[in-house]
Amino acid sequence: MNDQKITTSVLPGFMELLPADQIRFDRMKAVIEETYRSFGFLPLDTPAIERSEVLLSKAGGETEKQIYRFTKGDNDLSLRFDLTVPLARYVSEHANDLNFPFRRYHIAKVYRGEKPQKGRFREFYQCDIDVVGRERLGLAYDAELLAVIYRTFSALQLPKFVIRISNRKLLVGLLESIGLSDKAEEAMRIIDKMDKVSLVETKESLKDIGLKDDKIKLLLDFVGIKGEPKTVLDSLAGLKIENRLFTEGLAELSEVILQVAAFDLPVSCYGIDLAIARGLDYYTGTVYETILLDYPKLGSICSGGRYDSLASNYGGQALPGVGISIGLSRLFYQLRELGLLTLAETVYAKALVIPFDMAAMPAALAISMRLREAGIAVETYLEEAKFKNKLSYANKSGVKYAVIIGEDEVKGNFFTVKDMESGEQEKLNAEDLVGKLGE
Amino acid sequence: MNDQKITTSVLPGFMELLPADQIRFDRMKAVIEETYRSFGFLPLDTPAIERSEVLLSKAGGETEKQIYRFTKGDNDLSLRFDLTVPLARYVSEHANDLNFPFRRYHIAKVYRGEKPQKGRFREFYQCDIDVVGRERLGLAYDAELLAVIYRTFSALQLPKFVIRISNRKLLVGLLESIGLSDKAEEAMRIIDKMDKVSLVETKESLKDIGLKDDKIKLLLDFVGIKGEPKTVLDSLAGLKIENRLFTEGLAELSEVILQVAAFDLPVSCYGIDLAIARGLDYYTGTVYETILLDYPKLGSICSGGRYDSLASNYGGQALPGVGISIGLSRLFYQLRELGLLTLAETVYAKALVIPFDMAAMPAALAISMRLREAGIAVETYLEEAKFKNKLSYANKSGVKYAVIIGEDEVKGNFFTVKDMESGEQEKLNAEDLVGKLGE
């Protein structure tokens, strides 16, 4: 140890919360986890460090630049930038011990050394689920994920949200059918950004990559098809596009829409949006995005899709999968900025137990332990301090009740319970106190 | 992406679990967290990456060698090797926004590039709690931590354990009083290891560092004082050692033992053990270790102590604190090796809902959603497969019940529930099914 002064601020681009916000954050995390579990997803917790070759084999240009990479001994190591590549490695490694279709959730931190900007973090939580099949995986799993997203955001009590679904084969097939396969990637990237720019700008961008006016019109007509899922599917069939991919995509999307009906979700919570391309991702079929209707600028708060094979470059059999991901750190940050944090708990303790002086300490400790035995979280104020400082601590901590124990209480074998908000006080015996706080 | 084959094994020294074990692990973590919360500790979640200067200012020689250190841009960064240094930085940074005494828990991964060996991991979970005071912190907090440890290991249903407590000032004061201050660190390190070697070896080691026979005898007589806490305290007073530190240590330990009585812990769960020195740690007063009585070779499964100041090298006021830490990854590994994992849950879903064929799928999905609405986690088998393969999936997954839905069930509006262990089947309507699985 030395005595020099050291910068104590958290690193730029890293999120660090005060306890009240941390409790709100943890509560959101717990609600997501509980929902994932309610569908029978299994937990995974892989190391945050992987061999660089494992991560880099899947990383694109930007991701590769953002990676935290280092050597330790002879090992070339990196911090994971997502939870999908570790899943691929895990499934390849443990395939013989897993039950397929393998359903896992993984809620953990990932690392990307992006330029710090508002609401973007270099360390952030992803909350992922994936279902991975061996050789094949039915489309009912794609439908189930809609139900998972719906239940998750309902449980989080988020404002009006809508899950948008499409199938990437439709757009790719369409582009193929009009002779634009070589422009597919660029075109999809432009379409992905459509809802962030004006229609004129989108047209300009499509022109810039060499698309003729008639093809631009065709493309924009296609992504502009709106309505109830059934209507959209009919319109798509009506286009009579003769292309293998397009036909497959339409059949798959129809099947997913058919299957999802059985989950009995409110029809307003999901819809087909043909403009979803997820151009930078590795999806090959179904694609999802989730939007807060009144806050479209937040972009998608839960995205995902289906991929042909999770781990093609680890050799072995095809592992088709479908998954979704919630970027929780960013979502939390955005909701907080908007004043939309709905899960309002900011303290775990139901009460602060305050001995008036040290003579009352044994009684304070005894009732605290009894409350805990009854499953009620309480904190005991243990420091010697003026009573007014103890009350001010209770105020600042945000507990709903203070349980005060002084000479009278010890003698009379009762407790004074103060409602910290209303200031009201009542005297209760131990049993009634347990009853009141356990409500 | 490329197609080369890549090593898929997890890095040596890193723990990676299969789902059933992961659920057991997560359950232990949740029990610890719940207990910490029940005492009103607040959660913290600091970044895993810190500035190297922050970490290295507190790291000793060994730790410094084990650190994962790297640069990103202009930043010299490292992965945290414990949760105490990040706490110190956090408290220094946010002191004005915290409520003192500040009580936090932190359950998270830390990183040490140790030589891989059985049961030692390079990435592992620590479950820490600390109470940090401003300028002062009463000894009642030291007593409370005994109660926290007791309730944590009771809740984990661990086999017979005992919390050993001492005060470092006693040993340091004793060594000072017999003119051995300069040997204190070495002597304490030898005493720390006493329970792992023979008495003869301990004597030899003490001789090796230059201690005379009479002083060795005095030292071993001291650490050999056993009995009920009251008896030990009386014996210590009887030694009549005139040394300021020793006197302080005795007063503090007496106070902690007095305070702990009010928590009403079983007397068998804690005791004074004067041989606890925690020689390599930074503790200055109370020290704790926790031992499984029938498995002493595991060493301490929960250690901690009191320190004069958390963050002396960040400047500012003194922040005395007291804390404990459970090395959960190691503990889990050891318990599993010994067959002592007591929390036996290995699957979250209470049942696997199996549609006999695709025609039964809507009914299967509907009842699955209804069960989830009732707070019951269930998985639905969604893949088209032979019925026998579906049952074998249920078997492998470890669910207690399979809920089977075929043509008869759909027509008759009932469900066949199969107990996967006994093989017994019964037919239930939806309401009774919710009742049975919700038990």
For residue B71, give the chain A residue with the closest CA.
Answer: A70
AA identity, residue A154: S
Residue A3, pLDDT score: 45
Inform me whether the pLDDT recorded for B1 exceeds 60: no
| Set of chain B residues whose Cβ sits within 8 Å of the Cβ of A366 | 262-264
Q: Omega into A86 within 30° of 0, i.e. cis?
A: no
**Lowest mean pLDDT: which of A168-172, A422-426, B179-183?**
B179-183
Looking at the predicted complex, does its ipTM rise above 0.85? yes
Nearest chain B Cα distance for residue A214, angstroms? 35
Residues near B188 by beta carbon (within 8 Å), at least 6 away in sequence: B171, B172, B175, B277, B279
pLDDT (mean) for B71-87: 93
Say if the Cβ atoms of B8 and A138 lie within 8 Å: no
Say if the Cβ atoms of B58 and A1 lie within 8 Å: yes
Say if the Cβ atoms of B14 and A49 lie within 8 Å: yes
Question: How is residue B204 written in tokens?
Answer: 């030899």
Inform me whether the pLDDT recorded for A123 exceeds 50: yes
Nearest chain B Cα distance for residue A116, angstroms? 12
| Set of chain A residues whose Cβ sits within 8 Å of the Cβ of B25 | 45
Question: Higher-confidence residue: A348 or B342?
Answer: A348
Residue A114, pLDDT score: 84
| Residue A314 pLDDT level (bands cut at 50, 70, 90) | low
Nearest by CB to residue B1, choosing from A8, A58, A109, is A58
Say if the Cβ atoms of A47 and B11 lie within 8 Å: yes
Inform me whether the pLDDT recorded for B41 exceeds 70: yes
pLDDT (mean) for A171-195: 90
Nearest chain B Cα distance for residue A203, angstroms? 31
The overall average pLDDT reported for chain B is: 92
Nearest by CB to residue B348, choosing from A37, A312, A379, is A37
Cα torsion angle, A313, A319, A322, A327, sign = negative
For residue B392, give the chain A residue with the closest CA.
Answer: A99
Tell me how many degrees the CA angle B45-B51-B52 measures, rounded to the nearest 5: 120
| Set of chain B residues whose Cβ sits within 8 Å of the Cβ of A43 | 19, 22-23, 26
Say if the Cβ atoms of B40 and A380 lie within 8 Å: yes
For residue A154, give the chain B residue with the closest CA.
Answer: B373
Say if the Cβ atoms of B263 and A365 lie within 8 Å: yes
For residue A73, give the chain B residue with the closest CA.
Answer: B113
Say if the Cβ atoms of A57 and B378 lie within 8 Å: no
Inform me whether the pLDDT recorded for A1 exceeds 70: no
Residue B278, pLDDT score: 81
SS3 B36: helix
SS3 B82: coil
Can you give the length of chain B in residues? 439
Say if the Cβ atoms of A123 and B48 lie within 8 Å: yes
Inform me whether the pLDDT recorded for A126 exceeds 50: yes
Q: Percentage of chain A surpassing pLDDT 70?
A: 97
Nearest chain B Cα distance for residue A413, angstroms? 16
Say if the Cβ atoms of A4 and B369 lie within 8 Å: no
The overall average pLDDT reported for chain A is: 92
Classify residue B91 by burial, with Cβ atoms within 10 Å: 0-12, 13-18, 19+.
buried
pLDDT (mean) for B220-249: 95
For residue B59, give the chain A residue with the closest CA.
Answer: A1
Residue A369, pLDDT score: 94
- Interface A–B counts its CB contacts (< 8 A) at 280
- CA–CA separation, A372 vs B36, rounded Å? 11
Nearest by CB to residue B101, choosing from A104, A369, A383, is A383
Nearest chain B Cα distance for residue A262, angstroms? 5
Say if the Cβ atoms of B49 and A68 lie within 8 Å: yes
Nearest by CB to residue B349, choosing from A40, A101, A378, is A40
pLDDT (mean) for B268-294: 91
For residue A66, give the chain B residue with the closest CA.
Answer: B72
Question: Higher-confidence residue: A108 or B193?
Answer: A108
pLDDT (mean) for A306-322: 82
Q: Measured between alpha carbons, how far is residue A369 from residues A374, A394, B35, B46 in Å?
A: 9, 19, 12, 30
Say if the Cβ atoms of A22 and B10 lie within 8 Å: no
Torsions phi, psi for A53 (to 5 deg)? -65, -30
- CA–CA separation, A265 vs B367, rounded Å? 13
Nearest chain B Cα distance for residue A343, angstroms? 16
Inform me whether the pLDDT recorded for B348 exceeds 50: yes
| Set of chain B residues whose Cβ sits within 8 Å of the Cβ of A57 | 1-2, 4, 6
What is the gyration radius of the CA atoms in chain A, in angstroms? 27
Residue A184, pLDDT score: 87
| Residue B277 pLDDT level (bands cut at 50, 70, 90) | confident
Say if the Cβ atoms of A39 and B315 lie within 8 Å: no
Identify the residue among B69, B72, B397 best suited for mutation to test binding to A, counting A beta carbons within 10 A and taking the highest: B72
Nearest by CB to residue B382, choosing from A18, A140, A382, is A140
| Set of chain A residues whose Cβ sits within 8 Å of the Cβ of B383 | 101, 133, 136-138, 140-141
Nearest by CB to residue B16, choosing from A10, A11, A47, is A47
Q: Is A319 in contact with A294 (CB distance < 8 Å)?
A: no
Say if the Cβ atoms of A51 and B11 lie within 8 Å: yes
Say if the Cβ atoms of A2 and B49 lie within 8 Å: no
For residue A4, give the chain B residue with the closest CA.
Answer: B313
The secondary structure element, H or E, covering residue A289 is strand A286-292
Inform me whether the pLDDT recorded for A60 exceeds 80: no
Residue B193, pLDDT score: 87
Say if the Cβ atoms of B313 and A68 lie within 8 Å: no
Inform me whether the pLDDT recorded for A42 exceeds 60: yes
Say if the Cβ atoms of A45 and B7 lie within 8 Å: no
For residue B53, give the chain A residue with the closest CA.
Answer: A6
| Set of chain B residues whose Cβ sits within 8 Å of the Cβ of A261 | 362
- CA–CA separation, B211 vs B206, rounded Å? 6
- CA–CA separation, A329 vs A122, rounded Å? 10
Residue B2, pLDDT score: 42
Residues near A298 by beta carbon (within 8 Å), at least 6 away in sequence: A291, A292, A334
Nearest by CB to residue B4, choosing from A45, A313, A393, is A313
Classify residue B431 by burial, with Cβ atoms within 10 Å: 0-12, 13-18, 19+.
exposed
Say if the Cβ atoms of B5 and A313 lie within 8 Å: yes
| Residue B6 pLDDT level (bands cut at 50, 70, 90) | low
**Would residue A83 be called left, alpha or beta, if left means φ above 0 and alpha means ψ between -120 and 50 degrees?**
alpha
Inform me whether the pLDDT recorded for B18 exceeds 50: yes
Say if the Cβ atoms of B377 and A2 lie within 8 Å: no
pLDDT (mean) for A70-87: 93
Residue A195, pLDDT score: 83
Residue A345, pLDDT score: 81
Q: What is the pLDDT of residues B386-436, one digit of tens each?
A: 999 999 999 999 999 999 999 999 999 999 999 999 999 999 999 999 999
Say if the Cβ atoms of A2 and B313 lie within 8 Å: yes
Identify the residue among A7, A38, A129 best suited for mutation to test binding to B, counting B beta carbons within 10 A and taking the highest: A38
Residue B3, pLDDT score: 45
Nearest by CB to residue B38, choosing from A54, A75, A372, is A372
Nearest chain A Cα distance for residue B110, angstroms? 10
Identify the residue among A18, A49, A114 best suited for mutation to test binding to B, counting B beta carbons within 10 A and taking the highest: A49
Residue B195, pLDDT score: 83
Question: How is residue B434 written in tokens?
Answer: 């919710």
Nearest by CB to residue A4, choosing from B49, B313, B372, is B313
Q: Percentage of chain B surpassing pLDDT 70?
A: 97
